[in-house]
Amino acid sequence: MASTSAPPSGDAGETSQPVAIVCVGMAGSGKTTFMQQINAYLHRKKEPPYVINLDPAVLHAPFESNIDIRDSVNYKEVMKQYNLGPNGGILTSLNLFATKVDQVVGLLEKRIAPDPANPTRKPIKHILVDTPGQIEVFVWSASGTILLESFASAVPTVVAYIIDTPRTSSTSTFMSNMLYACSILYKLKLPMILVFNKTDVKDASFAKEWMTDYDAFQAALAEDEDRNAFGGQEGEGAGTGYMGSLLNSMSLMLEEFYAHLSVVGVSSLYGTGIDEFFEAVQEKAEEFKRDYQPELEKRREEREENKKKDREQELDKMMRGMAVSGSAKPQVGDINDDDVVEGGSSGDDSVDDDETEKEGLQARYEAAMHAGAESNIPDASFAKYLFDQERNP
Ligand SMILES: Nc1nc2c(ncn2[C@@H]2O[C@H](COP(=O)(O)OP(=O)(O)OP(=O)(O)O)[C@@H](O)[C@H]2O)c(=O)[nH]1
């Protein structure tokens, strides 16, 4: 079941490696406000984080970034040059930035490694990564995967999925959001924390209960069905028996998924629940090292192995190509020599044969003409003569 209030396994700052927290969330869920809040929290704790902004379209970020995609890629220029709309512009900017991921990780690794020239420099304990508001552009793009895998190869990385709690309070919107979270987990393959934001407006206890108590969700489902209110506050209330049974089976299916999540309720506006969030970060960082890192390394090794195989195949193909073209010349030479020796049927020889044939025909024709002239063979018989000559040269 969801580890909604798991005890902290130590201060997040005590881990030897820093933890990267990648914030994703639907537009308006409060991602930027949340980033601002956790950034301020860490500054207050005198543990300033390393901040990476991957949102090329953000106009005013309320916090400073150490690495900012906007410093390398001009989103508006990308839109203009490639004739793209806003989403295409963000995607292309991310793709362009992903080509520099080695430099980004290089900078990051340099910063988190101890500096012999400055031994008193405070180590970085948290890396905060802000992502574009268009969640699908990041989560479902190749560049998003490349960037995340690169971070995860450098430091333990966890995903914080920010949810707008007041807009998730009906059974159907809750289920939609959970399915989306599930798809993100499958896609990113990194430990995930569900951050129920805006708890100053709507407490997240209902969500925690629904995730841990199947009967409680069933009761809420029955209530929504009775009220014909599957859309909740923001829906149209289009409840049907089909919807009820669908939500029912989905909630059963998601039980296993919930078991792998940490769930926290926060108010980014007032800063409540942030301690609990960092406890969950610590828990997930440990989980990353225990469960995800070996899997990531296995995938990386497989990729390397496949790359090696591809390279070997290419090399093999090339060598075979060289062998064919290398041996082709002598072989062609051999064939020519053999042809000459054996009088084989090379193209040139057949031309010679044709020539000989032609000359023979010509001679016979002339002889025939001469003979015809001499013997007055009529033209009609001449063809027969030639024919006979052909058959009995
Ligand atoms: N009441 C309340 N409002 C919040 C909270 N967090 C964010 N908001 C409000 O929600 C709105 C959206 O917040 P943002 O932080 O801009 O959301 P976002 O997810 O970054 O949005 P995009 O930039 O579109 O991706 C703003 O009006 C915030 O003030 C919260 O904890 N409580």
36 lines ligand 1 (CB under 6 A): no
Residue with more model confidence, 295 or 199: 199
Rounded-to-integer distance, Cα 371 and Cα 76, Å? 93
Interval between CA 210 and ligand 1 midpoint (Å): 24
**Gap between the Cα atoms of 147 and 167, Å rounded:** 30
Q: Check: CB of residue 74 under 8 Å from CB of residue 97.
A: no
Q: Which whole number is the average pLDDT over 332-358?
A: 40
Q: How far is the CA of 135 from the centre of ligand 1 (A)?
A: 15
Report the atom number in ligand 1 closest to the C-alpha of 267.
Answer: 31
- In angstroms, rounded to a whole number, what is the distance separating the alpha carbons of residues 390 and 56? 86
Of 55, 202, 268, the residue with max ligand 1 atoms within 8 A of its CB, to mutate for a pocket test, comes to 268
When pLDDT is averaged across residues 275-299 and rounded to a whole number, the result is 88
Look at residue 366 and tell me whether its pLDDT is greater than 60: no
The residue to mutate among 32, 55, 163, 266, having the most atoms of ligand 1 within 8 angstroms of its beta carbon, is: 32
Residue of the CA atom closest to atom 9 of ligand 1? 30
- What distance lies between CA 174 and its chain's CA centroid? 27
Average pLDDT over residues 231-242: 52
pLDDT tier for residue 374 given thresholds of 50, 70 and 90 = very low
Give 356's pLDDT tier (boundaries 50, 70, 90).
Answer: low
Predicted pLDDT at 276: 96
Please, are residues 132 and 181 in contact by the beta-carbon 8 Å criterion? no
The per-residue pLDDT of the chain, averaged, comes to 77
Ligand 1 atom with the shortest distance to the CA of 26:
19
Mean pLDDT score, 93-99 = 90
- Measure 34 CA to ligand 1 centroid, in angstroms: 8
DSSP string, 174-203: HHHHHHHHHHHHHHH-S-EEEEEE-TTTS-
Q: pTM for the whole thing?
A: 0.72
Which residue's alpha carbon is nearest to atom 7 within ligand 1?
30
- Token code pair at residue 8: 């902290």
Query: What is the rounded distance in angstroms from the CA atom of residue 194 to the CA atom of residue 363?
Result: 100
Q: What DSSP designation does 5 have? A: T
CA distances from 376 to 70, 301, 366, 379, 380 (A): 101, 93, 14, 9, 11
Distance CA 121, CA 16 (A): 15
- In the numeric block, the tokens 């828990």 are attached to 283
Distance CA 336, CA 349 (A): 10
ipTM: 0.97
Q: 74 C-alpha vs ligand 1 centroid, how far in Å? A: 25
| pLDDT of 318 strictly over 80 | no
Alpha helix locations (H) across the chain? 31-44, 69-72, 75-82, 86-98, 101-112, 135-139, 142-154, 171-188, 205-212, 214-226, 241-258, 274-287, 293-342, 347-375, 379-391
Which of 23, 29, 32, 33 has most ligand 1 atoms within 8 Å of its beta carbon, as the pocket-test mutant? 33
Residue nearest (by alpha carbon) to ligand 1 atom 30:
198
Q: Which residues, other chains included, contact 162 with Cβ-Cβ below 8 Å and sequence gap of 6+?
A: 23, 24, 25, 26, 29, 30, 31, 34, 195, 197
Residue nearest to atom 3 of ligand 1 (CA): 198
Which ligand 1 atom lies nearest to the CA of residue 35?
15
Map residue 291 onto helix, strand or coil: helix
Q: Model confidence over 24-46: pLDDT tens digits?
A: 999 889 999 999 999 999 999 99
Range from 193-197, 267-271, 286-290, 317-321 carrying the lowest mean pLDDT: 317-321
Q: How confident is the model at residue 315 (pLDDT cuts 50, 70, 90)?
A: confident
The predicted pLDDT at position 157 comes to 94
First-to-last CA distance in the chain? Answer: 102
CB burial class (10 A; 0-12, 13-18, 19+) of residue 93? buried
Give the type of residue at 179: L
Residue showing tokens 């003979």 = 371
Residue located nearest, by CA, to atom 32 of ligand 1: 198
Give the Cα separation of 77 and 70 in Å (integer).
11
Question: In this structure, are strands 126-130 and 67-68 parallel, antiparallel, or unpaired?
Answer: unpaired
Question: Does the CA dihedral 25-28-30-33 come out positive or negative?
Answer: positive
Residue 370 pLDDT level (bands cut at 50, 70, 90): very low
- Is the beta carbon of 172 within 6 A of some atom in ligand 1? no
Q: Is 134 in the pocket of ligand 1 (CB under 6 A)?
A: no
For residues 299 and 306, what is the distance between their CA atoms, to the nearest angstrom? 10
**Percent share of the chain, pLDDT over 70:** 74
Quick one: which of 95, 79, 211 has its CA closest to 146? 95
Q: What is the separation of C-alpha 304 from the centre of its chain, rounded to a whole number of angstroms? A: 16
**Residue of the CA atom closest to atom 14 of ligand 1:** 30
pLDDT of residue 272 exceeding 90: yes
Confidence of residue 228 (pLDDT cuts 50, 70, 90): low
The 10s digit of each residue's pLDDT in 59-79 is: 888 889 999 999 989 989 999
Residue 9 banded pLDDT, cuts 50, 70, 90: very low
Q: 55: which DSSP letter?
A: -
Instruction: Specify the residue with its C-alpha closest to ligand 1, atom 13.
Output: 30
Please state the atom number of ligand 1 nearest to the C-alpha of residue 266. Answer: 31
Contact 203 CB / ligand 1 (< 6 Å):
no
Question: What's the pLDDT tens digit per position in 132-167?
Answer: 988 888 888 888 989 998 899 889 999 999 999 999
Answer yes or no: is the C-beta of 363 below 6 A from any ligand 1 atom: no
Give the Å distance between the CA of 38 and the centre of ligand 1: 14
Fill in the DSSP letter of residue 167. G
Give the helix ranges, DSSP H, for 74-141.
Answer: 75-82, 86-98, 101-112, 135-139
* Predicted local distance difference test score (pLDDT) of residue 280: 96
Answer for the pair 56, 295: CB distance below 8 angstroms, yes or no.
Answer: no
Give the highest mean pLDDT range of 130-144, 160-174, 230-244, 298-312.
160-174
Ligand 1 centre distance from Cα of residue 27 (Å): 8
